[in-house]
Chains A and B, each alone.
Chain A
């Protein structure tokens, strides 16, 4: 059947739903390119990427967590704790050992979160709120409540390393994006994360080990926090025990703005990246337009709510369109189906003559 106007509108709604936030990002970029002379310069754009890189790296893990149906509010605590431990280790045992210890600690703290949620059955919001507080406390304890300066410039130089005008953190961010997209969208484990988030019962019925699937994103997020923490320490040349306290909400805001569902089962790495960039570009825009920073929080807050509201609205429409199509298909296929099934099943009790009027085939939904 022909793609009628109604059909086209329905399809448009589907695409709108997928790319609404990306279009908002494009609009803001175009607006800033026109109203300022500085936005569309290599220097400024690489600066934006650098600024969002740490939040962005953690956002990749947070996306997996949200898709699996969990949260992590402890990412700030992990970043601070890993930072001071890594800085101390770098000072005492050298750069390589410091990096390895930092990443191992990040993975370990993520595993602690995973254990609390999947084994002790504590709601992830509460579990990571608690563990985040504890991690921050450990950070202060280990650092004796004062900043730890790096005694060698090794980490700082590593973080400042530039290639094609782009610094190391941006490359790490890019690598995190690619790896996360590969894992979440192209591997068996990624698909199981979606299954558990979309319908845990269905996953259980199919023999998926729910706990194992839910555990992994916590560990991945912990490791990514460690990477971000090392970048932060390198940039400042110092580990601050009270660093990153606002990061958990910043990361979740970016991911949610992008369109990743807090209800689990829906959302992509692409969406999360768009969300991260959107927050970065908005912050950059406020600087370039010389606006009062206080408006920035208000605007960002409004964008978060608007994005989620838009998502809910378009999602509802898309669901409506889909259910209508499904129903229409049911009606269309139904009568034929009953006849064909009997024929296929080969029951002699229900013989059907050839005179059963067949309906013309339909292309609906194919």
Chain B
């Protein structure tokens, strides 16, 4: 009935491997990015200038940093809709704490707020067994409300010491871009080269098998949520440093862009799949699109449509890829 020995010759295998490399989600987006860049440059040479590209990366930093964390959450098989609220809550909390503590302590408290928010999500999801979509839809509102409540809805000044992070550069490169790259490198390293990374993949791929193999499934999920909380807080502080003020209404709707970047980068809502570099490329693709609409003087309304279309295309492409693999 079933043929057991696959009769593939080595050369055929090599061909398969090459095909698979091209079909990797990262490669796909990279190709799309390059093609898009060429087209935009032809239409408006201002695109390919270092200033524009660095500004583009600067604009990508916040979404990029949060999508690294989102990648972990999605690989482990969950979703976090509360990241934008966590971002604002952490920034506001950090800024408010400057009234009581010296700034490094305030920064630390801001980051810890993010971690705590993530852990709350993780604990609620793993202890109640309620779908993370619903839990984080709830905490999206709760965390946003907390930020508004503690700031009384008014933007908070403070953390002027962080201004170099938001506005400074290292050489020609904006500091926040350096932070983004550092987060991506560490994030990808942990994901592919540590025990944690393999365990997170395992849980998202087949939670039952992971449990049978003795993996601490709940703890791994909480870690992923705490990580995205931490990175959201980091992004919030960077945003504060950029603007000189922490807004309780900051980044509304950011979670959708972050999820979009992650999905474009190859992550699946079903879990087990995704890569940090893919998510970065996804964020860059969204950034290039936004940039192109400005440079080409196209309606920003069209941009909204195009962003949606890209998400759908990425997901459809992913389905095709899976089919090609199994064929």
A and B together in one complex: no
Chain B residues packing against A (C-beta within 8 Å): none
